[in-house]
Structures are given as C-alpha cells and as structure tokens.
C-alpha cells in the first residue's frame, strides 16, 4: 500500500519524505502529491494529514528546497557527530565527519519557537544558504551542504575552522596576533578582500554583522593564519547598484555599529566602520568597549568617541 502511494507522488517529494521518515500514504489521501502542493497547503490541512511534528519538518524542508539545490542536500545519517564547538541564540555548532572529511555542522534551532519567530529564523537560514551558494570566494567560508531531514533544526555543513573565530583566537592566544605586524596585515587583508568582493556584487551585498566573532581563522599549508567571513544570516542586498545605496534594517552588534546604524540606516560605509573596529582588535587583542552597556556605547559613538588606540 505504501509503495503504491509513493508511485503517485512527485519523485522529489518521495525523496524528501524518505529523508524525513514520513510515510506517503496520508499525503496521497489528502491529495498532496508534490512539493508545490505541500508549499500551498494550509498548516491545518498538513497537520491533520501527518501530525504536527511531521508537518513542521516537512514544511521546513519544502521552504529550504526553494533555495537549496538538491545536490547540496545531505542526509543526516551520513554524518558522524563529534564535539560541540560552540552555541548561541541561533543553535549549536558541532564538528562532524562526512565521507572521511571533518566539517562544521551549524544547526539552526527551530524547536519550540512560536510561528512568527520560526518563520523569521527560517528566513535567516535561507538567506545564509543563498548567500553562501552565490558568494564563492577564497576568504568566505565554504558551504558543503544543507541538512534538512532533522526535526527541529536546519543544518549547514561548513568548512571547519581549526582555530575558531578571530575573537576566540584573540581571547585565548593574543600573542599569536598582537605585536605581529605580518600576521595582523594578512588577517586584515583577508577580511578586506572578502568585503571588496561582497561590495562589488551587482547589487552590492552587505554582511550586516561584521565583527571578529564572524571571522573564522584557518591555517594555510605553509602554516600561516588565514581569515574567512562567516554567518550571513543577516546579510542584505543593497538597493540600486552603487555603494551609496542604503537599507533600513536593524541587526548587528552594537560595539561594531557606526552612528547611522542606531537609526537603522545601513550602508557599505557602515561595514568599513566595523572593519576598522576589527583592525583595532587585531592591534590591541582586547574587546571593543569592554564592560560598557549598549546604551553607553551608543551615546559615546554619537558624541564622536571611538575605542582608544594605545599602541
């Protein structure tokens, strides 16, 4: 009976159901026979057909299918999950092994979120996937695949940064960077090259949350440190074709924000300001505005104050 039901479904939907371990029979009875039919089905109809948990997982997978080529989808069963590398408001990052290669799995958590927040989290995940598919550059972290068959999360398989983020490196081993001009120049040049690439797109792409925590540190074959940009969940495309274009959008991290961002105005010049803060971190090793609240930082920056240069 299940086999007969599967033959009535669109093959791409069958593959998706197999990944999610959802039996196709109920979808056939509800006349939901294709990915497009699932996308157009109401939440209540889908929950009635296959239950709330399966409906949520299937809807998430269908939404990601719109921006994720099938060849990038990786079944979770192929992964060997290793140690947790980090966690944040987005979810967790784990080291994983895929076909003998060590990668990082960034899991964006969807479990337990109210509908509006769930939708916004999915939009951020799809923005990041879309950006990484399009923006292939030596100094931008590479996307290896997307995991859409885990209930409660969307996963992105990324290059594994052996040294973590630039902020991690400066916190744990500042002597590897501070006072070493060649290393500082190389890391700053890597970030600047990635920024120039993003801003040269038509229309320009703005990262929107440029900071040392979103700069990953790799080691080249020659043993040199190398920086790559990551975390494009807040990335936006500037309207128009010039770098003078602006977007009204909240987001980002206050310590790296230019004054105009406090009014939700974001420009390519705003990212140059954030880059300057990263250069300050490379020089000093410390955290910008450490110990200051967001309100205090905003007042200081509005008055023209900047992190002090002491070296």
pLDDT at 66: 60
State the Cα–Cα distance between residues 24 and 18, nearest whole angstrom: 9
Task: Name residue 101's beta-bridge partners.
Answer: 98
H or E element, residue 84: strand 79-88
Predicted local confidence at residue 141, as pLDDT = 94
Give CA separation, 140 vs 64, 156, 205, 216, 230, in Å.
22, 15, 13, 9, 6
Q: Which pLDDT score is estimated for 229? A: 95
Instruction: List CB contacts of 98: < 8 A, sequence separation 6 or more.
Output: 74, 78, 79, 80, 144, 145, 157
Distance CA 13, CA 16 (A): 5
Burial class of residue 228, CB neighbours in 10 A (0-12, 13-18, 19+):
buried
Average pLDDT by stretches of 10, the chain with 311 residues: 55 77 83 81 84 81 65 89 87 93 92 82 82 90 89 89 95 97 98 94 87 95 95 58 36 86 89 97 96 95 93 59
CB contact at 8 A, 104 and 95: yes
Q: How far is CA 299 from CA 94, 254, 257, 311, in A?
A: 38, 11, 12, 25
pLDDT for res 127: 80
**Whether the Cβ atoms of residue 232 and residue 276 lie closer than 8 Å to each other:** no
């Amino acid at each position: 009976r299940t086999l007969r039901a599967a033959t009535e479904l669109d093959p791409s939907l069958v593959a998706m159901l197999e990944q999610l371990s959802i039996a196709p029979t109920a979808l056939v009875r509800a006349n939901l026979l294709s990915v497009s039919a699932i996308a157009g089905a109401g939440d209540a109809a889908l929950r009635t057909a296959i239950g709330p948990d399966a409906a949520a997982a299937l809807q998430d997978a269908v939404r990601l299918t719109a921006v994720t080529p099938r060849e990038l989808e990786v079944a979770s069963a192929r992964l060997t999950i290793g140690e947790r590398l980090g966690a944040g408001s987005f979810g967790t990052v784990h080291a994983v092994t895929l076909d003998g290669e060590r990668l990082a799995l960034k899991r964006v958590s969807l479990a337990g979120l109210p509908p509006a927040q769930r939708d916004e989290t999915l939009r951020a995940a799809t923005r990041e996937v879309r950006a990484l598919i399009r923006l292939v550059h030596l100094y931008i972290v590479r996307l290896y695949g997307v995991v859409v068959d885990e209930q409660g999360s969307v996963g992105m398989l990324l290059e594994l940064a052996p040294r973590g983020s630039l902020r991690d490196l400066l916190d744990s081993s500042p002597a590897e960077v501070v006072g070493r001009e060649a290393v500082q120049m190389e890391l700053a040049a890597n970030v600047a090259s990635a920024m120039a690439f993003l801003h040269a797109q038509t229309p320009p792409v703005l990262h929107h949350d440029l900071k040392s925590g979103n700069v990953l540190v790799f080691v080249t074959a020659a043993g040199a440190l190398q920086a790559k940009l990551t975390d494009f969940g807040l990335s936006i495309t500037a309207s128009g074709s010039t770098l003078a274009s602006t977007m009204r959008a909240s987001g980002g991290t206050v310590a790296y924000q230019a004054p105009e961002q406090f009014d939700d105005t974001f420009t390519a010049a705003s990212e140059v300001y954030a880059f300057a803060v990263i250069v300050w971190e490379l020089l000093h090793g410390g955290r910008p505005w450490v110990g200051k609240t967001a309100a205090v930082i905003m007042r200081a920056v509005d008055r023209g104050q900047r992190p002090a240069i002491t070296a």
